[in-house]
Amino acid sequence: MPLHIDKDISEWVDVCWSEHRSESALKIWRRAKEDWGEDSPSRRWVSNRVRDLKSRVRELDPEPIARPWGEHWPTDADSVQVFLVLHDEADLLCSSNGVQGFEGVTARMVDWACRIRRFFDCSVALDRLMLLQFSVWFAAQERWGLENSGQYSDVYDSTHAATSGLMAWYRRDSNEDSMGEERWGHVFRIWDRWPEDEASVRQIVCEYLRAIYSLYIVSADVSYV
C-alpha cells in the first residue's frame, strides 16, 4: 500500500461505496484492489473510510425523470434539440443492449447536458454517445457531492474528475493531449476504444446508464432481457 493515498483513488473509493452501499468494506477493498492494483489503499484504510462515510453521508431523494415535453424539459430551441437527441440516444442504447424499462434521462442529466453541449457535435455518433456518458458522470458526481457534503458541497470540486475528463475529450485530437492522463477516478478515456471496438464503448455507456437508474430512480424497473 502506498504511504500517501492519491486524491483520485480516495474519491474512487467514496464513489464505489456510494454505488454499492449494501456491500461490506471488505468487498469495497477488493474492488479497489482489482481496479488500482498496487496503488490501492490498505484494507484497514478502506474499512475506516467506509465507516466514516456511513456515519455522515445523507442520501438524497430519488432523481426525477425528464420525460419528453414534460416538466423538466427546456423551452429554447437549441436545448430542445440537444435533449431530444440525448433521450433518443439513451433509448436506442438501452434497446440495442436488451435493457427494458427506460423512461427517460434524469432531470440532473438534462441540466448537465445543457451546460456541456458545446463540446459535442450531435451529428456524430461518438459525440452523441459521449454527451450521454458525460451527462451521466457529471450528474452522478454532483449528486454524490451533495450527499457527501450537503450545503457545503462545491460543484467544481465534486465534479473535478468529470471536468478533467471533459477537457481531455476536448483536446483529444491535439498534440497537447498526446501525453495526457488515462483516467481521473471513475472517469476514463473510453472514447479511445471507439475506432477498434464501438460495441464495447456502447456497452460501457449502457452499464453506466443502467446504474444511474438502479441507484437513483426508485420507481424505475430497468432490467436485461
Going by pLDDT thresholds of 50, 70 and 90, the confidence category of residue 134 is very high
Asked if 144 and 220 count as a contact pair (C-beta separation under 8 A), the reply is: no
Grid coordinates given for 197? 471496438
Going by pLDDT thresholds of 50, 70 and 90, the confidence category of residue 2 is low
The tens digit of pLDDT for each residue in 54-112 reads 888 888 888 888 888 888 878 888 889 988 999 999 999 988 888 877 888 999 999 99
Instruction: Tell me which residue of 148, 173, 168 sits closest to 158, measured CA to CA.
Output: 148
User: Between the CA of residue 57 and those of 45, 61, 62, 63, what are the distances in Å?
Assistant: 18, 13, 15, 17
State pTM to two decimals.
0.80
Name the residue with higher pLDDT: 130 or 180.
130
Instruction: Tell me which residue of 82, 83, 5, 6 sits closest to 45, measured CA to CA.
Output: 5
The tens digit of pLDDT for each residue in 11-49 reads 888 878 877 777 888 998 998 898 888 888 899 999 999
The tens digit of pLDDT for each residue in 143-168 reads 988 888 877 788 988 899 999 999 99
Examine the pLDDT at 125 and tell me if it is beyond 80: yes
Instruction: Tell me which residue of 52, 108, 110 sits closest to 81, measured CA to CA.
Output: 110
pLDDT of residue 177: 59
